[in-house]
Amino acid sequence: MENNFKSTGEYIASEELMSSVNIAMALEKPLLIKGEPGTGKTMLAKAVADALNKKLLVWNIKSTTKAQEGLYTYDTIQRLYDSQFGGENVDDISHYIKLGKLGEAFDSDEQVVLLIDEIDKADLEFPNDLLWELDQMEFYIYETKKTVKAKKRPIVIITSNAEKELPDAFLRRCIFHYIDFPNQELMEEIVKTHVPDIEEKMLKNAMDTFYEIRSYSQLRKKPATSELIDWLNAMMIGGIDPDIIRKELPFVGVLIKKDEDLEVIRRRVD
């Protein structure tokens, strides 16, 4: 295979995940990534782009984002302004068409990696509005009567936090991958790439405590990879003695963000 994704120096992917990425690329379908917050969904796209040495375009979705914005926008105000003050090229509408992220990805001469981040933040109908564009990799600009077609089919990675259900028609067109929370072994590998100069003892004690905390079922928000890494960094900077980690839980605020959860942990650890 010409394009093949493997773990990079900064991103450790499970075999399962690598296979999903490669399947999606081979079948030229968008890859939909779901998983607990903090398991590296957004990081994945960057890693894929780095591994394949391609440019990464990120389209961050917010609750107000409309599908149209990803394709193109027509700047009517600029045009009106220009017409009143005698700007150039006012006749040429294409001058006022600005491509969105999806448009940019289609228009690029080289294949790019397009990350549509947190698609579930948008309106319920949002994914449906992109069905044709993601399937055919083209869209039509009404104002200029032109079709923008992908020169090189971009690799599309979509992340979702499952805040909303995505429509079936959209799901059927995707390759789906659920990022499991990494087990201790994989996690050690991940941590070492981010915090390379960590002491073995500190790592071991911290990891044991971390997985113990995660096993408490009463927690409302379980700490995830990104919290663990922040926590380890904090403890290293603070020069914490590894032996007291389990007992004293230094900097636990980095790991646990909710008052109720802190309460639970204090009770369990004592």
Partner 1 sequence: MFSKFFYTLKAKGLDVSLSEWITLNRAVSMGLEGTSLTGFYYVARAILVKNETDFDKFDLAFEECFKGIKSDNANITDRMLEWLDKSEMMELLHEEERFWLNQQEDLHIDKEDVETKFKDRLKDQDSEHNGGNYWIGTMGKTSFGNMGGNIGGIRVGGTTGYQSAFAVVGARKYKDFRDDKMLDNRQFQLAFRKLRQFSSKLDIPKTELDINKTIDSTCNNGGYLKIEMERPRKNAVKLLLLMDSGGTMIPFTKLLNELFQAIHKSNHYKDVKCYYFHNCIYAKMYKTPECENGDWIDTEWMFRNIDSDYKVIIVGDAAMAPEEFYSETGNYRGPNGGLTGEQWLLLLKQHYKKVVWLNPKMAPGEAPWREVETAVKKIFPMYKLTVEGLNEAMVKLMTR
Report the alpha-carbon distance of residue 100 to residue 141 in Å, rounded. Answer: 12
Strand pairing of 175-179 and 155-160? Answer: unpaired
- Any residues with CB less than 8 A from the CB of 88 and at least 6 apart, and which? 82
Rounded to the nearest 10°, the torsion over CA 170, 70, 39, 153 is 70
Strand pairing of 138-141 and 146-149? Answer: antiparallel
Report the alpha-carbon distance of residue 81 to residue 9 in Å, rounded. Answer: 50
Minimal distance in Å, beta carbon 99 to partner 1?
A: 19
Is 190 among the residues that bind partner 1 (CB under 8 A)?
no
Q: Which one of 3, 7, 8, 14 is in contact with partner 1 (CB under 8 A)?
A: 14
Pick left, alpha or beta for residue 191 (phi over 0 → left; psi -120 to 50 → alpha; otherwise beta). alpha
Q: Which segment (16-24, 46-54, 145-153, 246-254) binds partner 1 by CB under 8 A?
A: 16-24
Q: Which segment (22-30, 103-111, 225-233, 254-262) binds partner 1 by CB under 8 A?
A: 22-30
Minimal distance in Å, beta carbon 237 to partner 1?
A: 31
Q: Which segment (105-113, 168-176, 236-244, 247-255) binds partner 1 by CB under 8 A?
A: 168-176
Interface with partner 1 (CB under 8 A), residue total 34
Residue 92 DSSP one-character state: -
Minimal distance in Å, beta carbon 173 to partner 1?
A: 8
Is 24 among the residues that bind partner 1 (CB under 8 A)?
yes
Minimal distance in Å, beta carbon 59 to partner 1?
A: 20
Q: Which one of 79, 122, 225, 231 is in contact with partner 1 (CB under 8 A)?
A: 79
